[in-house]
Amino acid sequence: MLALDFPGSQHLVDRLDRAVDHDREADIANALRNTLCELIRDPAVKLPQCVFAEVKDHYARRELYRSEEFGYAVIAMTWGPGQGTLVHDHAGMWCVEGVWHGSLEITPYELVEQHGERYRFESRGTMNVGPGSAGSLIPPHEYHTIRNPSADSLAVTLHIYRGPMTQCSVFRPLDSEWYSRDRRVLSLDAMH
Strands 104-115, 144-147: pairing is: antiparallel
Q: pLDDT tens digits, residue range 88-146?
A: 999 999 999 999 999 999 999 999 999 999 999 999 999 999 999 999 999 888 999 99
pLDDT at 1 over 70: no
Q: Establish if 2 belongs to a structural domain.
A: no
Q: Establish if 192 belongs to a structural domain.
A: no
Q: Establish if 3 belongs to a structural domain.
A: no
Q: Establish if 111 belongs to a structural domain.
A: yes
pLDDT of residue 4: 64
Domain count of the chain? Answer: 1
Closest among 45, 16, 48 to 29, alpha carbons compared: 16
Give mean pLDDT, residues 40-68: 95
pLDDT at 35 over 60: yes
Q: Establish if 147 belongs to a structural domain.
A: yes
Alpha-carbon distance of 148 to 128, in angstroms, equals 10
CA–centroid distance for 63 within its chain: 12
Kindly report the average pLDDT of the chain as a whole number. 94
For 188, list phi and psi in degrees, rounded to 5: -110, 145
